[in-house]
Structure 1
Amino acid sequence: MNFLKRAGLSLLAHRIRTLVMLATFVAISTMVLGGVLIEGGTARAEDAAARRIGADVTLGVDMDSLVAGGQMQAPQISADIIDKIGTSPLVEAYNYDSFNGARLRGGTRLTGKSMDPSIEGYTLAMGVRDSRLMPDFSSGKWQLLAGRPLTDADRNSNGILIEERLARKNDLTPGDKITLADNDGKRTAEFTVRGVYRDPSDQPDPEYMQFPGDRLIVTASALSALDGATGPVELRGATFKLKDPASFKEFEAHAQKQAGAALEGFTLDINDKALKQMTGPLAAVSSAATVAMWLIGLAGAAILALLIALAVKQRRREYGVLLAMGERRWKLIAQQAAEIVAVAALAIGLSSLVAEPLTQRAGAALLNSEAADAKRKLDAWEPPPPGSTGLDQGYDPDDQPVEGADPIDEITVRLDNGALATVAGTGLVIALLATAVPGASVLRFNPRTILTKGT
């Protein structure tokens, strides 16, 4: 009789044993498929978050090399070079980083104290290419109340953004003029108010002691001209928003090629803090699902091997008769494999019907728990005392949460052909492993001994 036919008859004849193996395999397949679905769901959620927020690469001064070289002045880099780097197709957008002291003239008054008590109206002006890319604007911490942001279209104009407290105190609105003097007070220039924004902070900057209501945001070219520069705009650094955080190494090579020696004294660092903050719970759930999947797969293989070993022991007389009739040993092993593969195929089919809804509920519960814990830790963070950086009190600036980057607490699992293929392959491996050890004992069977002594 064909061994495949015998396998089918054996499964029907030993219904209890078949049902036990089927139930075991359904449980294993459902759990393994659940792990695959959770991995797929978290991966899609991470990719979506990465595409949505990108990643900021900061070009800044290498302070270690600056101190080691004994230099007193930080290097600067030309805006022309930054523009070349920013043309990369890997870059979604980029911004300049520059700042300098400025003096309010023409009767415009500060909302707080001057940064230098000996200089009237002395405050800090920040030079940008696109104000929308400033971290506090992009995160939603600062809000534009009136007018419009500064963009690259304002590159050759004296545009300025002012905080609402400065606007209110001096009765300024978009379109009005404001006069600034440079850091030394030797040159002056007239600026046009492009917009009024709101900074909810009421504490002075701990490094420069500038009141947030007195912060000025101007175009980098205008700030450079106010400072007396006549050549290309020199910057202290820049920020590049990548389309894909995974392309950082490729972008770094592009920047080195475009800038060459101009990058000496600077470092390129990727700030994917917001992405990590959002996807932390996803990583925890995915890791737990992967570990559980492996443990269940190995445990399932061991359980099935034990069940098959018991079945082989119970079927010794059957195998003895077949061997005595001239049946080859490899066909007996093939019969065992065919039986377990048939059960595995049916189990995978049944598990595919229930795994998706069960995994969706289980995954949502796990992720909600992880996200809630992460959110509590973020909410528990407190800034250092006013007027202090907090570094001498153990505060780590890297611990400060990124606003607007709440941990992801939802995933959508999706059963597709790829997931089924993965589980089918895993089920086949488990089936073969479970058959291998008991099957080896069949090779040692002696039909005469089995039939005469029953052992």
Structure 2
Amino acid sequence: MDFILRGLLSLKKRKGKGIILLAIMLIVCLVILSGFGIQSATKAAAVLARQKLGAEVTLMQDMQKTMEKMRAQQDPAAEPTRGKGITRASVPIEYLDQLKGLENIKGYSLENSTGANLGDGVIAVASETTETTTAAKVGGGQDGKMKAPVSKGDITLMGINDFSLASEINNGGGELVSGSAITENDLEKNVVMLEEVFAEDNKLAVGGTIKLKNPETSVEFEASIIGIYKTNSTVDDTAFRNTAMMPYNKIYAPYTFVNTIKGSDYTGKVDSIKFFLDDPVNVDKFIEEGKKTNIDFETFVLDGGTREYDQMMSPIENVASFSKITLVVVTVFGAGILGLIIMLSIKERINEIGILMSLGEKRIRIIGQFLVEVLVILVIALSVAAFTGSSISKVATDKLLANELQTESQQQSQGVGGQMPQNIGRQGNGGGFSKTKVEKIEELNVKITATEFFQMALLAMLVVIVATIIPSLMIMSVNPKEILSKNS
């Protein structure tokens, strides 16, 4: 094994070139290690993003496509008209049969809502500044004439199939106080659940009845009170201005009863169907399987928080993409630079190669000597990278991610892209569409594990070996006599 000894002695003799090779190898190792670390952290961040959004998928109207259809149907030359509203598309309950048989479903909730007026002297809970929607303000028509007031209801009637799975309740927004909760067994029955404050103010209790009116037709319906619940929702500014938005004025009922109040056009339909999955990581799989059904996805969408997920992951994926490109570039150019330096170093040692070959030393052993030299330097580089890789990777990643977040924030504030706001289309607890605040992931938890280090070491070793063998073969393909004669 004398070629190993020769390699070690050569390193001791050529310290300057060894330091240059060490610096280049260390940079290559650190970049490769950071790249693998960022890729691993990106996968972990994707799981975290899904966990933040929850394991819920909602089948509802696709508001973005609805808006696009409306714009496409408008005549560019026509005068803009006031009062042009968005047409609400209810979800056929038959779609539930196509989806509830898919894997990973723990439960599902059918929901619809409408405003309703109260009868028999029952009043809604209101603040001093609240305006009831029964006495809605008079608005102007397209012809400038005054329109008759349109009543939207004093309370919100929330249709469900299971109280425990209702959006607000399932997220900790309320709990049963007395009586029984609405379940699938209550479908087709005229029963309701009242909020505790509303019930106390109106001296209503379980076993009593309450009358509700359709705000447009004034048709009255009587319902039995089977339960009292307590809401944990806070009163926001909107609720202070509108009794129907007060959380105390939300009455739960079977969705079939709500459809009866809304009218025959809503039979067999709901505003949305929400599916609860066993794990957030199965959301994308569920959506892909759902797209294979016969559901009209030109009108409806399976929303698993896709827009919010994309917003959360966009900066992180940009960093991961940049690191992947950098990894490829550094690997290729690092191999090229190392190969060039090693080739120049071998050319300077042409006389040594010629003497060794004339003494009968095999070419493979001479190449082995060069490999020993660079591999010893690589081991030193790997040792340094093992101690400094995590901290350097974290600093670099934090800087890249901060730049991405700042760039995205600037683009959003400037309205780059001309797209419709991303917060349109998420369904709120009241059955309407609400704004969703997306919590950004502002930090990537880059941890260099043994797996990433092992992958980096293998790739770095491959780069070094290729960068050494190719120039060595090119030089040692000549005859030793030619080497010595040229050198002399």
Q: TM-score, normalised by structure 2?
A: 0.70
Alpha-carbon separation, structure 2, partners of 1:47 and 1:326: 61
Contact 1:101 1:123 in 2 (8 A): yes
Question: Aligned ranges for residues 312-327 of structure 1 at < 5 Å?
Answer: 312-327=346-361
Equivalent pairs, count: 427
Q: Does residue 244 of structure 1 match 2:268?
A: no
State how far apart, in whole Å, the 1-side matches of 2:370 and 2:381 are.
17
Aligned letter for 1:31? V
Is residue 338 from structure 1 mapped to residue 372 from structure 2 by the alignment?
yes
Q: State the distance in 1 between where 2:307 and 2:93 align.
A: 28
Q: Do the aligned partners of 1:174 and 1:194 also contact (CA within 8 Å) in 2?
A: no
Aligned mate of 2:440, from 386, 407, 423: 407
Matched to 2:394, the amino acid is Q
The offset of 1:3, in angstroms, is 3.0
Number of the residue aligned with 1:418: 451
SS at match of 1:364: helix
- Residue number in structure 1 paired with 2:234: 198
Is 1:398 equivalent to 2:416 in the alignment? no
Q: Which amino acid aligns with 1:442?
A: I
Check whether the contact 1:93–1:241 (CA below 8 A) recurs between aligned residues: yes
Post-superposition Cα deviations, 1:323-376, rounded to whole Å, max 9, x if no partner, equal 212223333233323322332233112211111122223323433444455567
Encode CA deviations 1:210-232: one digit per residue, 9 max, x unaligned: 96349745232442465689xx9
Amino acid at match of 1:238: I
Q: Does structure 1 residue 77 correspond to structure 2 residue 92?
A: yes
Q: Give, in angstroms, the shift of residue 283 of structure 1.
A: 1.8
CA offset at residue 447 of structure 1? Answer: 1.8
Q: CA deviation at 1:25?
A: 0.9
Partner of 1:446: 479
In the TM superposition, what are the counterparts of 1:7-406 in structure 2 within 5 Å?
7-54=7-54, 56-60=56-60, 77-78=92-93, 82=96, 85-86=99-100, 88-109=102-123, 111-114=131-134, 117=149, 121=153, 125-129=157-161, 153=183, 156=186, 158-160=191-193, 167=198, 178-182=210-214, 184=217, 185-191=219-225, 192-196=227-231, 197-202=233-238, 212-213=245-246, 216-219=250-253, 220-224=255-259, 234-242=269-277, 243-245=279-281, 247-250=283-286, 253=289, 267-270=300-303, 271-371=305-405, 374=408, 396-399=420-423, 403=436, 405-406=438-439
> How far apart, CA to CA, are the structure 1 residues paired with 2:228 and 2:409?
39
1:406 CA drift (Å): 1.2
Output one character per residue of 1:393-450: Cα deviation in whole Å (capped at 9) or x when no partner: x882435596453111223222222101210121022112312431232233332222
* TM superposition shift of 1:304: 0.9
C-alpha RMSD over aligned residues: 4.5
Secondary structure of the 2:374 match is helix
- List runs of 5+ in structure 2 lacking aligned partners: 71-86, 125-130, 137-147, 425-433
Which residue identity lines up with residue 118 of structure 2 in the other structure? Answer: L
CA distance in 1, matches of 2:392, 2:181: 49
Contact 1:333 1:442 in 2 (8 A): no
Q: Give unpaired runs (5+ residues) of structure 1.
A: 383-393
Provide the rounded CA distance (Å) in 2 between the counterparts of 1:213 and 1:408: 33
Do the aligned partners of residues 353 and 421 (structure 1) sit closer, same or farther apart at CA in structure 2, a change above 3 Å counting?
A: same
Deviation at 1:93, TM superposition (A): 4.6
Deviation at 1:253, TM superposition (A): 3.5
Structure 1 residue 238: Cα displacement: 0.7
Moved more, 112-121 or 192-201: 112-121
Q: SS at the partner of 2:378?
A: helix
Tell which deviates more after alignment, 408-417 or 358-367: 358-367
Tell me the distance in 1 between the aligned counterparts of 2:289 and 2:235.
37
AA of the residue aligned to 2:230: G
Tell me the distance in 2 between the aligned counterparts of 1:180 and 1:56. Answer: 32
Taking structure 1 as reference, are residues 305 and 131 closer, same or farther at Cα in structure 2, changes over 3 Å only? farther
Deviations 1:146-171 (A, max 9, x none): 969x976586283446698xx59966
Rate the CA distance shift 1:113–1:266 in 2: closer, same or farther, 3 A: closer
Q: Percent same amino acid among aligned pairs?
A: 21
Q: Which amino acid is the alignment partner of residue 112 of structure 1?
A: T
Whichever residue aligns with residue 29 of structure 2, its letter is S
Distance 1:330 1:108, change over 3 A: same
